[in-house]
Amino acid sequence: MKVLLVDDSGTMRTIQRRCLAKLGIEDVAEAEDGQQALQLFEAAAFDLVMTDWNMPHMDGLTLLQEIRKRNKQIPVIMITTEAERARVVTAIQHGVSDYLVKPFTPDGLKEKLERWTTTRV
Amino acid sequence: MVSAAPTLTPSSVAITISEYINPVVSATRSVFEMMLGCVPTRRGLTLKDENAVMYEVSAVIGISGRVRGTLVVGLSCHSACEVLHRMVGTVVTEANNEVCDAVGELTNMIAGAAKAQLAKYELSLSLPNVVTGTSHRLHFPSETAPFVLTFDSDIGTFHIEVAFHEV
């Protein structure tokens, strides 16, 4: 399984990458913003995208829209501080597969990722 | 940008505390508990004045929407390094880029969690900016009346400065 991990915070990418490693997923590409992520997405085949919302250059919602223009099936999980109902609804309307609000516990992240990775590793 | 704080009436202070400050306090507790494994205790709430506390690391987030504001998390270098340590296990003694990233993300989560409780104001947050340097002090625009929240925690004492004003 190949995962594209997108967050402008290196700290958050480290936390999420370690959680993926615990689930046996080591093939992870990292991007610091939506623009960089889209370049990686177009250059390789991924099985899962995990993205932050608020990032410089291209935000996660725009990235989600760009991904959905290219691939309607790939799971995209938004992991973000945007917790308001209206934001979640917007993400769903644009085709997000799952949503996790920061802050999260290690178990909360693991549980969320297990849903999208255990049958696909 | 140094200027006298605007005059506040007791009623306006009460509205500010209940409307804006309490969500920040509960957001801070929640983020610290989940991301750092400790629950901070609020020790004080004061209006910021010229004797304000100075910091070694501070993260600043701008807030816009139906109200505007600024939220600052101010820490000692030791506490900032402990934030990184507790989030990813890395041990450092200087406020390097990794420490700034961790403190910025922590602040982003605090502001985001508070924003969720203030949904009726339709707020947006800026990306966090992190300032380092021995004993620096942050100054707010003159039309604001910043509050300083002081917390004790397992990573040391830290402060949150927050100010909102009507658009």
In order, the DSSP letters of A97-111 are SEEEESS--HHHHHH
Provide mean pLDDT across the span B83-105.
97
Write out chain A residues lying below 8 Å of B113, CB-based: 81, 83, 103
Residue A21: how many other CB atoms lie within 10 Å: 11
**Average pLDDT, integer, range B154-165:** 93
pLDDT tens-place string over residues B64-91: 998 889 999 999 999 999 999 999 999 9
Provide the number of CB pairs (under 8 Å) joining chain A to chain B: 55
The domains of chain A, with CATH numbers, are 3-117 (3.40.50.2300)
The CATH homologous superfamily of the domain defined by B10-166:
CheC-like (3.40.1550.10)
- Look at A33-37, A97-101, B50-54 and tell me which has the smallest mean pLDDT: B50-54
Rounded distance between C-alpha atoms, residue A103 and residue B60, angstroms: 18
pTM: 0.91
State residue B13's pLDDT score.
53
pLDDT of residue B166: 78
Find the closest chain B residue to A7 by CA distance. Answer: B105
CB contact under 8 A, B112 and A104: no
Hey, is the C-beta of B39 within 8 angstroms of any chain A C-beta?
Answer: no
